[in-house]
Amino acid sequence: MNNPAPQADASRPILYSFRRCPYAMRGRMGLFASSQVVELREIVLRDKPAHMIEMSPKGTVPVLIMPDGRVIDESLDIMLWALSSRDPLGWLNPNEGSLDQMLELIAHMDGDFKRHLDRYKYATRYEDADELIERGMALVALDPLAERLKQRPQLFGSKISLADIALFPFVRQFANTNRTWFDQAAPSPVVNWLRGHEASQLFSDIFRRWMVWKEGDPVTLFPAPE
């Protein structure tokens, strides 16, 4: 017997997302791990819904709109909001180090590494960007991860933590720009760490395909009810 289609519910948060965006992946993984159910609205970046822009004028995903109208439109903030309510996998409590140290590493990588990644992957958008130079600089910017992963399977110990989940989508984006080169050039601990996360059930669950949302479409719940 088929389950009835979910209905709109004003008490449920709304998440605007784009499947392939690493920032949106972050948000979805935090929500999934905490079992925070939201109404998912998959978008295409070239045709952003007016409601999303009204609520978050910067026009980037993810955007989480709370029932009281509060907007959370930074991916890491969405993760922290979800996990602060429920963190069954202990992502906020690593084996080694602290939450503050994880946030420091994430902020560092979101700055230096992400800058070079963007200028490599989207070199034509930047007048002064040399694709190969930026690729080399992005590779060097992986050193903090490589140093950690030489000594442990995950960034902050033996178990997965917030830092792993927040950072691997961006390393994946870097790798997939030229996977053959990355697999040969990147430090093997980083390559192996990335492969493990890509092969995880979590990544499979948050990377499924959704129909692009339009006003009036049926409600899509995320995580989907079992």
Please report, for the chain, how many H helices and E strands are present, in that order. Answer: 11, 5
Domain spanning 14-90+208-222: which CATH class is it, in words? alpha beta
Alpha helix locations (H) across the chain? 22-34, 50-55, 75-85, 99-108, 114-121, 131-140, 143-149, 162-177, 179-185, 188-198, 201-206
* Length of the chain measured in residues: 226
What is the fold, at CATH topology level, of the domain defined by 99-203? Glutathione S-transferase Yfyf (Class Pi); Chain A, domain 2 (1.20.1050)
- Answer for the pair 110, 99: CB distance below 8 angstroms, yes or no: no
**pLDDT, the chain, mean:** 96
pLDDT (tens digit per residue) in 170-205: 999 999 999 999 999 999 999 999 999 999 999 999
Answer yes or no: is pLDDT of 80 > 80.
yes
- Answer for the pair 62, 36: CB distance below 8 angstroms, yes or no: no
What is the pLDDT averaged over residues 60-85?
A: 98
Question: Helix, strand, or coil here: 154?
Answer: strand
- What integer pLDDT is reported at residue 9 of this predicted model? 80
Residue 200's contacts (CB-CB under 8 Å, 6 or more residues apart) are none
Q: Where are the domains of the chain?
A: 14-90+208-222, 99-203
- Answer for the pair 198, 206: CB distance below 8 angstroms, yes or no: no
Answer yes or no: is pLDDT of 225 > 80.
yes
Per DSSP bridges, beta strands 14-17 and 38-42 are parallel
| Overall pTM surpassing 0.85 (yes/no) | yes
Answer yes or no: is pLDDT of 1 > 90.
no
What is the pLDDT averaged over residues 115-142?
A: 96
